[in-house]
Amino acid sequence: MIATALVPIAASMHVSVGQTASLVTALYLASAIAQPTAGKMAAVFGARRVFVVGIVLVLLGGLVGGFAPNLLALLIARVLIGLGTSCAYPSAMMLIQRRAASAGLEKPPGGVLGGLQIAGIATAAFGLPIGGILVQAAGWRWVFFVNVPVALIALAAALIWIPRDPAQQGPRNLREVVSRIDLTGIIGFALAMTALLVFLFSLQTPNWVVLGAAVILFAALTLWELRATHPFIDVRLLVRNAALTRTYLRFALVALCVYIVLYGITQWLEVGRGMSAFTAGLLLLPMSIVSGVVVAPISRRNLVRGPVIVAALCTLAGAAGVLFLTSSTSIVWIVVITLVFGVALGTASSGNQIALYTQAVGDQLGVASGLFRTFGYLGSIASSAITGIVFHQAVSDRGVHLIAWIMIGVGVVAVMLSVFDGALRTPARTAPTEGK
């Protein structure tokens, strides 16, 4: 929704539109760090508690943003919303895992997991038109205020319907809390991710010093996690469980190409084809609808290998289709390409999520789920950086074709990671084998 409010916010706050773009960056940064952090907190303190705390943070963010007197207050509101919404997915995955275990399910509850993906796709698809209606009818502040009633409904539903967290032997004092959540690891991860994201956002004029800092921080984080009693990110597990690492990479690669279509092709439609933002958004709406439709049957059957391969092949096919786009291309061809990417998004989301559920071990599912979303954010941010570099001088057919070649290269890697991954076989809820 925030995309529709950036220009009105700039006018109201007497700042440039470029400065309001920091509201998008702030949420990306907060979410990329908070997703796995929320998963760790859910494992230590209980998934329901973290889920409820997340809802309260969204509520506060809505109020702070709605009454914000300046851009700084809006940034704080966006960070609160980013932190709050980041609690949802990893906590939900752990709640589903707990419910499935209590029900004696041997296989993942695919229908429920599919519901998570459909909800995410639906909110992303309808956020833009809803935001546009709110801004036009009530003003930009309601893009923030709308979080308040939504959060109150979610809070009531969570308190009424989600069973309380089971009694567990939690940390008893501050020192034990710090050790159990691995506070040093969380801080190290936050610093390293911040440096990496700052570098990705600066790709038009690369800041190599920041990249060097990111490498050093990630190296230091790895050394710390190898020695930590309760590591925030279990590096040894990621090395042993290479199948999970490949799942992260596949999802990031497909997300990269899908978001290039959302960001780059949308810009080209508006500039190269002279379309309005509203019309360009409508052209992309079928992509979201198709992706949501694809998720349900795949998730109900707990399919993994087939959908993951289809996602990679569709990414490659869609990228090849972009090569043929010109300013005179028929709208029908553009819609066909977006539909192909819709299939890629739906199959990648559902197939890789089932793979994640089966590959993450025990209480590692929370952090693993958060990292899954973080890799998706990395793909999104990288796509924004790529389109910014390619379209830096002008938005042209030549730039679109260069983007297509980049996506083809990414698609080839995604196909290789999918077709040759022998671990993508069974949906049974079993621990991954060593060395896979």
Task: For the chain, give every domain's residue range.
Answer: 1-168, 236-427
Structure-derived torsion over alpha carbons of residues 417, 420, 421, 422, reported in degrees to the nearest 10? 180
Q: How far apart are CA 54 and CA 52, in angstroms?
A: 5
Say whether pLDDT at 431 is over 50: no
pLDDT band, very low/low/confident/very high, at 429 (cuts 50, 70, 90): very low
The residue type of 315 is T
User: Kindly report the CA angle at 154 between 71 and 162, in degrees rounded to 5?
Assistant: 140
Enter the DSSP assignment of 431. P
- Rounded CA separation 395/303 (Å): 40
- Rounded distance between C-alpha atoms, residue 169 and residue 305, angstroms: 38
One-letter identity of residue 220: A
- Residue 379: how many other CB atoms lie within 10 Å: 22
Token pair of 37 as six digits: 């952090």
| Residue 184: burial class (beta carbons within 10 Å; 0-12, 13-18, 19+) | middle
CA–CA gap between residue 41 and residue 39 (Å, rounded): 5
> Where does the pLDDT of residue 10 fall: very low under 50, low under 70, confident under 90, or very high at 90 and above?
confident
> pLDDT (tens digit, 9 = 90+) per residue, 341-397?
999 999 998 889 888 888 887 778 888 888 888 888 888 888 877 887 787 777 788
- Name every residue whose Cβ is closer than 8 Å to that of residue 101 and which is 6 or more positions away in sequence: none
> Which residue type does 320 have?
A
The token duo for 264 is 């780059």
Torsion of CA 267, 268, 272, 276, to 10 degrees: -40
The residue written with tokens 């296989």 in the block is: 107
Upper half-sphere CA count for residue 184 (Cβ side, 13 Å) = 15
pLDDT of residue 425: 67
User: Burial of 155 by CB count in 10 Å (0-12 exposed, 13-18 middle, 19+ buried)?
Assistant: middle
- Least confident window among 22-26, 45-49, 240-244: 22-26
pLDDT tens-digit map of 255-313: 999 888 877 777 787 777 777 666 776 777 788 888 888 888 888 888 888 899 999 99
Contact residues for 196 (Cβ-Cβ < 8 A; gap 6+): 211, 214, 218, 378
Residue type, 187: I
- Cα separation, 213 vs 163, in Å, equals 44
Model pTM score: 0.81
* pLDDT at residue 169 is higher than 80: no
On whether the CB atoms of residues 91 and 51 are closer than 8 A, the answer is yes
Identify the helix (H) or strand (E) that includes residue 166.
none
Asked which of 159-163, 202-206, 208-212 is least confident by mean pLDDT, the reply is 202-206
Asked if residue 42 lies in contact with residue 95, where contact means CB atoms within 8 angstroms, the answer is: no
Domains 1-168 and 236-427 belong to one CATH topology: yes
Residues in the chain: 436
Tokens 């700042």 -> residue: 15
Cα dihedral sign, 216-219-223-226: positive
CA proximity to 191, closest of 220, 229, 164: 220
Residue type, position 126, single letter: F
What is the CATH architecture of 236-427? Up-down Bundle (1.20)
Q: How many of the other CB atoms lie within 10 Å of CB of 186? A: 20
Class of CATH domain 1-168: mainly alpha
